[in-house]
Amino acid sequence: MTMTHPGLPEYWSLIIIGFMLMAVIWVLTTPTPVRTHTSVSSLVNISFFGKSVRILIANRWILISLKLVLVGFFLLIIIAGLFGTPIPERNIATVLTWNLWWSGLVFSVFLLGSAWCAVCPWDTLSQWLVRRKLWRRAEPNNSLNIKVPKWLANVWPALFMFIALTWLELGVGITTSPYATAAVSLLMVVLATASLAVFKRKAFCRYFCPVGRTIGYYSQLAPIELRPIDNETCENCKTLDCYHGNNSIEPCPTWLVMGRLTQNSYCTSCGNCTQSCPHENVAWRFRPPSTEALHSARPHWDESWFMIGLLALTGFHGLTMMPFWEMWMSQLAQTIGDSGRLLPSFTIGLFACILVIAVIYSTLIEVTRKISGTDMAFKRLFSTFSFVTLPLAFSYHLAHNLNHLIRESVGIGSVFLNPLGISTAPLSMMEKYERHMTMWLSQDSIFAIQTALMIIGFWIAVQVIRHRGLNIATSNSNFAAFKLTPMLVFAAGITGFHLWLLMQPMIMRM
Ligand code: SF4
Ligand code: SF4
Chain segment 187-199, per-residue pLDDT in tens: 999 999 999 999 9
Please, which residues have CB within 8 angstroms of residue 410's CB and are 6 or more apart in sequence? 435, 436, 438, 439, 440
Least confident piece of the model among 34-43, 215-224, 260-269 = 34-43
The answer, yes or no, to whether residue 340 has pLDDT greater than 80, is: no
Does the Cβ of 63 fall within 6 Å of ligand 2?
A: no
For ligand 2, atom 1, the nearest C-alpha belongs to 252
Please, which residues have CB within 8 angstroms of residue 61's CB and are 6 or more apart in sequence? none
What is the distance between the alpha carbons of residues 330 and 334, in angstroms, rounded to a whole number? 6
Which atom of ligand 2 is nearest to 114's Cα? 8
Give yes or no for a contact between 484 and 300, defined as CB atoms under 8 angstroms apart.
no
Q: What pLDDT score was predicted for residue 36?
A: 64
Q: Count the Cβ atoms, other than its own, within 10 Å of residue 172.
A: 15
**ipTM of this predicted structure:** 0.90
Domain limits, the chain: 1-31+312-510, 42-286
In the DSSP assignment, the letter for residue 260 is G
Instruction: Tell me the best of 270, 275, 281, 285 to mutate to test the pocket of ligand 2, counting ligand atoms within 8 Å of each CB and taking the most.
Output: 270
The answer, yes or no, to whether residue 476 has pLDDT greater than 60, is: no
User: What are the pLDDT digits (tens) for 68-87?
Assistant: 999 999 999 999 999 999 99
In single-letter form, the type of residue at position 42 comes to S
Does the Cβ of 258 fall within 6 Å of ligand 1?
A: yes
Ligand 1 centroid to Cα of residue 277, in Å, is: 5
For ligand 2, atom 5, the nearest C-alpha belongs to 267
Give yes or no for a contact between 187 and 210, defined as CB atoms under 8 angstroms apart.
no
The answer, yes or no, to whether residue 37 has pLDDT greater than 80, is: no
Q: Is 286 helix (H, G, I), strand (E, B) or coil?
A: strand
What is the distance between the alpha carbons of residues 201 and 199, in angstroms, rounded to a whole number? 6
Q: What pLDDT score was predicted for residue 509?
A: 64
> In this predicted model, which residue has the larger pLDDT, 175 or 56?
175
Give yes or no for a contact between 230 and 288, defined as CB atoms under 8 angstroms apart.
no
User: What are the pLDDT digits (tens) for 347-387?
Assistant: 999 999 999 999 999 999 999 999 888 889 999 999 999 99
Instruction: Tell me the best of 273, 275, 277 to mutate to test the pocket of ligand 2, counting ligand atoms within 8 Å of each CB and taking the most.
Output: 273
Which atom of ligand 2 is nearest to 276's Cα? 1
Ligand 1 centroid to Cα of residue 279, in Å, is: 7
Q: Is 128 helix (H, G, I), strand (E, B) or coil?
A: helix
In the DSSP assignment, the letter for residue 117 is H
